[in-house]
Structure 1
């Protein structure tokens, strides 16, 4: 992860001039290559990649047979993963020959997540669905599952490709980055200053989004000022406190806060509300419609970027079923995903749910999750 001090030149390239930056430290992004979308939304050419996932070793023939899956998300007990779990149960009921149990840590802790997965390997399951708290740290236990003949399907937050078969990606990272940055620019202006509340610097999907946001902002909104990125785990109180600290620290300079998690975004909106800064500080982020509805209705939040997490969980179960049946295998170009239709395979071993969606006052009441 990037936690190094940048030279003045590096900062100048990142987001305009170095003098526009309030800090000389860039935190929260990963070191992978970026592919920012065109400023005008023109779709770029997508180069096909060979399958880069892994396969279970000596897996028994499970085609058409009952499939027992365990879902181990980053944490349980929050609205987002309640929604993915609902989608999984919907898919299992629809398929009729799949049983899914959701179990996991109550805090976004990678060590606890590894322990949960390891315990289910010992107990014996046909497949593991996971949303990784750490891309690299989770890999050994997933490889252990594969070596035990257990299917491993990621969703929401990826592991290294060589430690799972498939990853169901909610939306491409550069698409989310564009939606987030464009909406923030629309609300605070091309020279507005913003900060970010994320979970941790090692959480893979958020680190990827932030890296793509940086690249897109550099190309399309170069005068926006990046003040700071702070960690808040997936904790509501810590997220609220971090947002409140940013508000107090930067005062009138702070024009916007990005929430990178379904917890950080409503907590940031609550911090802005309690500080009496609605209309002065914009909150743009990723969260569920139900958690953001009060803030959207009060006009404190204008836009929420997300996808349907119910559909994400639903697609993950269909991917596991298809992999077990031998219908989804290396070289596949699409997944037949029930009511979702055909979902494309991209980047070698990722199944793409679709483009991000922006919830606002005009449409938020159409969704209940």
Structure 2
């Protein structure tokens, strides 16, 4: 990987300057709800159901069903692990077949085409992780109109374009974990930049908005430099991290990785530049991808949820939706070995709080 990365330092992306921003970029325009700086925050009330419903869907209760899983992209560890969780649930349930298929890059137009093709070919259910919440909504509504059950996970669409969304963690919970960990590593007055996928990727945009609100409330002296896009591409993520290192020099104390690709790529850039211990990388990534950097004492932590559990929960929720055992007004849902999961934000199923993995425990996890 090192030789490949080094050879590509001269790629065109590096020749494109990324200007510093006076305000946070990469977030959305939705209201924020920063958690308390310390102590526990109360769980949100479920609220009134705001999801959609399939039209004239056949009775599928207890029957064998065929479901397609269309993530943001295939070929990356994150969605390979969610897919493995879905297969685990399918095996336990015994009456659901799940096939994972999708674009090889995080491209919303390609993702829409995949969804549309499966509506045409015919499936009972669609699981999705959206590349763009607005752009994907019409084709998901088309699926609902065709009587197909639609459940999201990882990255949501507009609420009425699907029935339920399995939320890996509440955005304000992700924000608190990320910014508290960053402040603990670079100090309360350190400067940092963000490497995200795209400014329209819904979950990352939501996290960034909540991160800004929480930082202004709880870590007001941290200095935000800029957000750069990397398309969830390994080489682009490395190049963008390298650009930030070159541009800001000693001013840069931390890089926040918003994707499971960006975080290890940024860690690789830090390591190759001999900046271990000088530039922190805090972000969302699979433990296995970060073990070399954390066990090698270059990076201190990584943050994530159990992605296998996320896929497992999504498959369980799809089965409950099809069977009618999860319906509007419910406050919890049974999800196999995960027990009962909480309903939040009107039509979301909450997996739980994010976890900070460190050298003390990262080797206990294999995903």
Equivalent of residue 25 in structure 2, options 2, 24, 27: 27
Partner of 1:290: 288
| Matched position secondary structure for 1:351 | strand
Q: How far off is 1:315 after superposition?
A: 0.5
Partner of 2:222: 224
Partner of 2:274: 276
Q: How far off is 1:47 after superposition?
A: 3.4
Q: How far off is 1:24 after superposition?
A: 1.9
Partner of 1:146: 144
Larger displacement relative to structure 2 (45-54 or 324-333):
45-54
Could you tell me whether the CA contact under 8 Å between 2:46 and 2:331 is conserved in 1? no
In structure 2, how many angstroms separate the alpha carbons of the residues matched to 1:90 and 1:26?
40
Indicate whether 1:347 and 2:345 are aligned: yes
1:168-205, Cα deviation, whole Å (9 max, x unpaired): 00011101100000000000000000000000000000
In structure 1, how many angstroms separate the alpha carbons of the residues matched to 2:93 and 2:259?
31
Seen in structure 2, the aligned counterparts of structure 1 residues 45 and 168 have a Cα distance that, compared at 3 Å, is: closer
| Matched position secondary structure for 1:255 | strand
Q: For 1:57-68, list aligned pairs within 5 A.
A: 57-68=55-66
Larger displacement relative to structure 2 (36-45 or 293-302):
36-45
1:195-236, Cα deviation, whole Å (9 max, x unpaired): 000000000000000000000000000000000100000100
Structure 1 vs Structure 2 CA RMSD: 1.0
Q: How far off is 1:109 after superposition?
A: 0.3
1:85-113, Cα deviation, whole Å (9 max, x unpaired): 00000000000000000000000000000
In structure 2, how many angstroms separate the alpha carbons of the residues matched to 1:22 and 1:238?
19
In structure 2, how many angstroms separate the alpha carbons of the residues matched to 1:53 and 1:41?
32
Q: For 1:175-214, list aligned pairs within 5 A.
A: 175-214=173-212
Partner of 1:367: 365
| Matched position secondary structure for 2:302 | strand
Partner of 2:38: 40
List alignment gaps of at least 5 residues for structure 2.
1-18
Partner of 2:129: 131
| Matched position secondary structure for 2:232 | coil
Q: How far off is 1:46 after superposition?
A: 2.3
Q: How far off is 1:45 after superposition?
A: 5.7
| Matched position secondary structure for 1:234 | coil
In structure 2, how many angstroms separate the alpha carbons of the residues matched to 1:209 and 1:96?
36
Seen in structure 2, the aligned counterparts of structure 1 residues 267 and 174 have a Cα distance that, compared at 3 Å, is: same
1:259-282, Cα deviation, whole Å (9 max, x unpaired): 000000000000000011010000
In structure 2, how many angstroms separate the alpha carbons of the residues matched to 1:300 and 1:123?
49
Partner of 1:162: 160
Partner of 2:356: 358
In structure 1, how many angstroms separate the alpha carbons of the residues matched to 2:24 and 2:321?
40
| Matched position secondary structure for 2:144 | helix
The runs of 4+ residues in structure 1 deviating greater than 4 Å are none
In structure 2, how many angstroms separate the alpha carbons of the residues matched to 1:73 and 1:122?
18
In structure 1, how many angstroms separate the alpha carbons of the residues matched to 2:93 and 2:325?
15
1:63-91, Cα deviation, whole Å (9 max, x unpaired): 00001100000000000000000000000
In structure 2, how many angstroms separate the alpha carbons of the residues matched to 1:130 and 1:273?
35
Could you tell me whether the CA contact under 8 Å between 1:22 and 1:226 is conserved in 2? no
Q: How far off is 1:303 after superposition?
A: 1.2
In structure 1, how many angstroms separate the alpha carbons of the residues matched to 2:298 and 2:226?
22
Partner of 2:53: 55
In structure 2, how many angstroms separate the alpha carbons of the residues matched to 1:214 and 1:120?
38
| Matched position secondary structure for 1:279 | coil
Q: How far off is 1:22 after superposition?
A: 5.4
Indicate whether 1:322 and 2:320 are aligned: yes
The count of corresponding residues between Structure 1 and Structure 2 is 349
Indicate whether 1:122 and 2:120 are aligned: yes
